Each structure stands twice: as structure tokens, then as C-alpha cells.
Structure 1
Amino acid sequence: MAVEELFRRYLPFCIGLLAFVTGVSVLEVPRLPWGGFEKLTNFGAIVAISGVVMVVSRFAIGPVVSAQPAVPDPTASDTWMRQRIAPIVLTVGTLAITALSALLIVVFWQLGTATGPENVIRTKLDSILMSIFTATLPVFATWVGTVLAFYFTNESFKQASEAALLAANPPNAHLPFASSRMIPYEKIAKLEVDRGGVRTTLVSDVFSRFNDQTTRVIVFDKARSPIFVIRRKNIPADWIDEAGKLKAQALTIDDYLKIGNNAADAVQFGFIPQGASVEQALRALKDSQSDDLFVTATGQKTDPVIGWLTNDRLK
């Protein structure tokens, strides 16, 4: 542990302890008799004053010896001060009021217990002590209320300002829309079929849409909702002859789905709303664990597809 950290932690305690020992010595607490509350009140006053000294020393020494960042940040410093000012003021104020009240009680108690033929304070000691209580309680309440009102009013103003800035500058306003990179529905390599008979659709109808640029075909229903994504690379090699044509014309999509992991892969895709940004589309692509995203008006899969996005178009 660094020397500065040791000073920051233990020097305020040592100062408070020194104040306590000094107070005990000055008021000669050990020599006072235990009759009444004189010794107890003196001791309480010394403890309260020592606590105030220790707390003030802690906040006075801490900022001086604590490590500072290489490049000071005025915003961070202001935020730190606003977060600390309420507990600092409340703590110091409470201890100061407590110490002042204890000191007044000790002084008036000693004056009231002093011997003398005409000790006016002795006859009015109870009312004096009650006056101290009734005087300090409103001060403490006003003190706490003022600090808390300032703190929470400031927080409310800060939240209102942030809400106004957020409304004026939406977080995704400066980000490009993913829909600007999509393939419109009209240009998608697709096949539109009745959903009820999709599995009996011939693979040859899908295969005829493959070319050098088109390596996957989307099978939609009549409502423009995607059903399957058929990939050329997942068609078994023994289905294709040396000329690159499909051998068996009677094979269906159901036969394709029964090969390996094709059934799971064909329905592995996601959806995003039309107003989604590229960053949001990338997150949706990752969440869907696929290479295909379909753009709809609201991002719901029940809406008609507006466009299609692939992993390559989002890079």
C-alpha cells in the first residue's frame, strides 16, 4: 500500500484521536466525580467534537493526497462533486450541530451545578436544555431539507435535460438504415407457392433459379412470408450430373429437407423492422444465428416481406 494511501486512511483517525485526548486532558474528565451527568456529558461532548475534527480532516486530506488522472476531466470532476456534496454536507452539518448542542449542554450543566447562593441557571436548567433541543431541531431539519431539495431538484433537472436531448437527437438518428442495403422483394431470387403444398414443390423449380450470382433461393407463400431458404451448396452432389444439371426431375423440397441438417438450416433466419440501423441488423443476425434477415414494416414475421439482407451486405 502506498504511503499516500496510508496517510489518507489513518491520518484523519490520528487527528481525531489527538483531539479526543486533548479534550479529555483539558476538561479533566478522569478527575470529575460520577455524580449527576457532568462527567458523562463532558465525555459525550469530547467524542462529538473529536468526530467532527476527524471527518473534516478526512475530507480535507483526501483530495490532496489521492491519485489524480493523468488528463483531468472537468465533466467527471463536476459529476463526482455533485455526487459527494450531499453526503458531505449532511455528515459535517449533522456532526457540527450535534457537537454545538453537546457543548452548550455541558456549559449550561456546569453553570447550573455550580455552588452559589443565587444560581439563577440552576432553577432554569430544565427549560434551558429544552430550549437547546427546540432550537437545534428546526435548524437540523432546515439544513437537511435544503440539501436534499437542492440535490433532488438538480437530479430532476438533469433527467429532464437528458430526456429533451434524447428526443431531439435519437440515438440511431445518425446511423445508416439497414434497409438501404437490402435486396427489394421484387429482385429476390424466389419461388412463391401455396404454404400447404410447399413440400411437394419440385426441386427442379428451385434449381432453375440458381446461377453464378444466385446461390440460394427463398421460398415464399402467397402472403410474402418466407418459408424455406434453399441453398445450392446443400443440394447433394449425386443429384447433379457432370453438366451441372439436376438428374432426377421428380425430387421435391421434402426430399431436400430430409438430407442432413437441411431441415433446420432452411428455417434459420431472422426479421428486423424497416427502420432498423445496420448495427441493429448485425445484432439481429447474430441472435438468429443465421446468414439471412428479412425486412418487414414492424419486424414481425407475420408482416409481408419488404426486402432481404444477407451477412455480406451488412459487412
Structure 2
Amino acid sequence: MSEPHGAVGAAGSATAAAAPGAGTDLNAAVRGKIARAVILSSGAILLMLALVIGYAARTAYFGAKDLATATDLIEKFVFALLPMIGTWVGTVLAFYFTNDSFQTASNQARLTFAETRDARLRQIPVQRAMMPVSSVRGIAADDAGWQGVNFKTGVLDFLASEKIGRLPVFSSSRDRLYGIVHDSVVKDFALRHGVRPTSADAAASAATLAEFLEDGEVSPRFRNSVGFVGPDATLADVKKAMDEVTARGYPCRDVFVTDTGTPNGRPIGMITNVDLEKWSSYG
């Protein structure tokens, strides 16, 4: 005897309603098992890493009899591993607590990385990381003499021959920095004025350093895209100086260390965004 259509419909609806719940419970159980396994294995890995770091530091100390060497080794291990661990834990938490918490977990992982990076930068003095100003390749000429420096040979060809991407301009005695420009700004000016770096034609070299640095597109970047810190600063101060200059409207990728920490001070050294990234990553 066949069942009434109403009974069949009710049973089908009940089965359909139960299926999603059962699937959700199964997914939650699977996530829980995977999360527990990953967390336990992460704990084991952390323990092994702690033992390895401790052994390496002990070997360094007894080998060199230098506590500073051992301490520096531990710092490098810790600051290299913490961002990785924070990201790993954030990913596990995102998986465990379902997609609704993924953004929160990701934000926490990024925050952990940022805090670790800033902590590392606060421990590194600028004088340890900077390039001495005597080694910085650039132009040394007082502004009164800029008319006598040819743009093509003194700027465009100079960057190409030295294989550098940024050009600081110092006073003739290098006791003051006037500003800095990057190769993209130089090439843009060359393009606008028909100066070709491969051309040997003297007629293409009429532009001067003064004309270049006083150009409406170049001058604001030249004078306003560099930061300054004092000799007692840390790389955290360098990062802050870069951020402050960038916030004023021009991307800052260079910071100079001066004896007064101001633009009018005597330059001591230079730190670029590339240096900052290198030291924040592994020192």
C-alpha cells in the first residue's frame, strides 16, 4: 500500500533538513581534529627550535667566549622565526574557527609580524646599519655651481655608469645635503627635454643640473622626499621618519643621519628603504 503523498513529502523534508546539520557537524569535527593535530605539531616544532637555538647559542658562547655573539645569534633566530610562527598560528585559528573568523585571524597574524618587525628595528642603532656618507655616491656641488654641471654627463650618464638608482646632491664640502632624486625622476626629465642617454650629440646636452633641480616636477621631490634622524636614533626612528615624509605627499625611500638630526646638520650616513627591509627581516 502506497504512502500518502503528504507523508512522503514530510519524510523527505525531514531528511533534507537533517543532512545539512549532519554535514556541518562532520566538517566541524574534521576541522577540530586537524587544528588539534597542527597545534600539537607546532608546539613540538617550537620546542625543537628552542633546543636548537639554545644549543647554537651555547656553542657560540663557549667557542668565542663572547656573550654578545651568542645573544646576537639568539636574536637573529627569534626575529626570523616569530613572524613565521605568528602567521602559522593565525592560519590554524582561521581554519578552526570557520570562515567568519578568517579576517580576524589574518589581522592578528599581520599585527604579530608588524610588532615583531618594529621590535627588531628598535634594537638596531642607525650607525650599525647606515652607509657612511663618504661611501655614498652623489654630486658634490654648491647650488651656485649647478649651472656648470651638465645634466646629461653629470646626472644621466653618471647614474648609468655608477649603476645606482638614486642621486643625492651635497654641498661641495659634503657638510650639507640639498636633496635627493631617483632614476625615475631623472629619466622623466630626460624624456621631456629630449636628452637621450645613448646619444653622443653635444647638442642634446644643453640642460644643466640647475635647470634639472629647479624644474617644477623635480624640485618638490628633490627637496621634500628625504628624511633625517640623529646619530643616536634606531632603525625604528628611520622607519618613522620615512612614514612622516611620505604622509606629507612624497614617497620617502631615503633617510640621512646627520649630527643634529635635522636637514641643516652635517651628513654622517645614509639608510635606504632597501636597507630597512633587509635589517627588519634578518639583521
Q: Shared fold (TM-score greater than 0.5)? A: no
Point out the structure with the larger helix share: 2
Greater gyration radius:
1
TM-score, length-scaled by structure 1: 0.41
Higher relative contact order (CA 8 A, sep 6+): 2
TM-score, length-scaled by structure 2: 0.45
